[in-house]
Amino acid sequence: MNLPFDKGLRYIPVPPMSKAPVAKGWNRIENTISEESEAWRLEQKNKALALAYCDPAVVHLDGDDYPLAVKELAKHNIDFKKVLTEATCVFHSGRNNSISALYRLPKAAPLLKTRVVQVDGKTVLEFRCATNEEKTCASVIPDSTHPSGTKYQFLKGHSLDTIEEIPKKLLAFGMSLTNTRTPKKQATERDLKFNYGYETPRRLALLREQLTFVDPDCDYPTWRDVIWAILSTGYPSAYTIAREWSEGAPLRYSYLNFMNTADAYKPGHFTAGTIYHYARIGGWNG
């Protein structure tokens, strides 16, 4: 990916498959990269934005749990789905329910100190920019590789060239947050919903084989039903398998389409038999 060097952005090299800079003094502005002549320092490395040192500063809205973030922001009259739909620079890390948006901070606004939104002690959303000492935070961007091995990717049509100013309501909410940590409750139904003992290499291989006979470039009801059927297996990797299958139709369904559909899944209406049915239609004879 060609990084823009004419947009007031500053970059930080990060070791491959890592999220944290390691070079001494990485959070000092003079050690960041803002000129194309220094781009060689980023070669074969993960790349991060020096958020607070960009001009204007960049706010990273970092969603670690999209469904919970939607519910939590709704309590504050913020439609997170609409926010992401209207944002111009959105990407994801490839992990379950991850979603990120980048915004410019208004020049007249004070630096946003990084704050978190938590549910039962779990961070579901971060407003990242600066530390309490006003040093920069670093956020890894596409096309870096997450420690889990997945790739950071922009949504179709999005890039660092398109970062717009953060909506006033969203900024006000971020500014109002504190770093107070809430006590973690005992495991919830959401935490326990996957049956980790049920996933086996043989079952995964069968599921993936069947899905090769189901074209994701299909009508919406079929696409939705297959996603929900994959999630109904309860496999820990079901979300990733469903996302990877959906990515086979990038011109029809976006990452946000997938996340909203997966979020709407409710157990009990679909089973693996749905996948079997569509695979048979597609020619599978296993």
What average pLDDT is seen over the chain? 88
Establish if 126 belongs to a structural domain: yes
Asked if residue 159 and residue 68 are part of one domain, the reply reads: yes
Supply the pLDDT for residue 272: 83
Supply the pLDDT for residue 14: 95
Strands 115-119 and 153-154: unpaired
Asked if residue 18 and residue 126 are part of one domain, the reply reads: yes
Domain termination site, one of 117, 145, 176: 176
Establish if 105 belongs to a structural domain: yes
Asked if residue 215 and residue 146 are part of one domain, the reply reads: no
Asked if residue 232 and residue 134 are part of one domain, the reply reads: no
Establish if 128 belongs to a structural domain: yes
Asked if residue 205 and residue 89 are part of one domain, the reply reads: no
Domain termination site, one of 116, 144, 176: 176
Asked if residue 168 and residue 136 are part of one domain, the reply reads: yes
Asked if residue 201 and residue 167 are part of one domain, the reply reads: no
Supply the pLDDT for residue 157: 87
In sequence order, the 6+-apart residues with CB closer than 8 A to the CB of 277 are none
Segments forming the whole domain that contains residue 131: 11-176
Residue 143 CA to chain centroid, in angstroms?
A: 13
> How does 166-184 read in b/e, with b if 16+ C-beta sit within 10 Å?
beeebbebbeebeeeeeee
Asked if residue 257 and residue 147 are part of one domain, the reply reads: no
Domain termination site, one of 176, 210, 227: 176
Asked if residue 85 and residue 200 are part of one domain, the reply reads: no
SS (H, E, C) the chain: CCCCCCCCCCEEEECCCCCCCCCCCCCCHHHCECCHHHHHHHCCCEEEEEHHHCCCCEEEEEECCHHHHHHHHHCCCCCHHHHHHHCCCEEECCCCCCEEEEEECCCCCCCCECEEEEECCEEEEEEECECCCCCECEEEECCCECCCCCECEECCCCCHHHCEECCHHHHHHHHHCCCCCCCCCCCCHHHHCCCCCCCCHHHHHHHHHHHCCCCCCCCHHHHHHHHHHHHHCCCCCHHHHHHHHHCCCCCCCCHHHHHHHHHCCCCCCCCHHHHHHHHHHCCCCC
Asked if residue 256 and residue 204 are part of one domain, the reply reads: yes
Establish if 1 belongs to a structural domain: no
Asked if residue 220 and residue 158 are part of one domain, the reply reads: no
Question: pLDDT band at residue 1, thresholds of 50, 70 and 90?
Answer: low
Establish if 3 belongs to a structural domain: no
**pTM, 2 dp:** 0.79
Q: pLDDT digit string (tens) for 233-281?
A: 888 889 989 999 999 998 888 889 999 999 888 887 788 888 988 999 9
Query: In this model, does residue 226 exceed pLDDT 60?
Result: yes
Establish if 286 belongs to a structural domain: no
CA–CA gap between residue 213 and residue 132 (Å, rounded)? 53
Q: pLDDT digit string (tens) for 182-206?
A: 433 433 333 334 444 467 888 889 9
> What's the rounded mean pLDDT across residues 39-62?
95
Query: In this model, does residue 66 exceed pLDDT 70?
Result: yes
Establish if 24 belongs to a structural domain: yes
> What's the rounded mean pLDDT across residues 124-152?
93
Asked if residue 124 and residue 19 are part of one domain, the reply reads: yes
Supply the pLDDT for residue 179: 65
Our count of domains for the chain comes to 2
CATH number at residue 81: 3.30.2250
Establish if 6 belongs to a structural domain: no
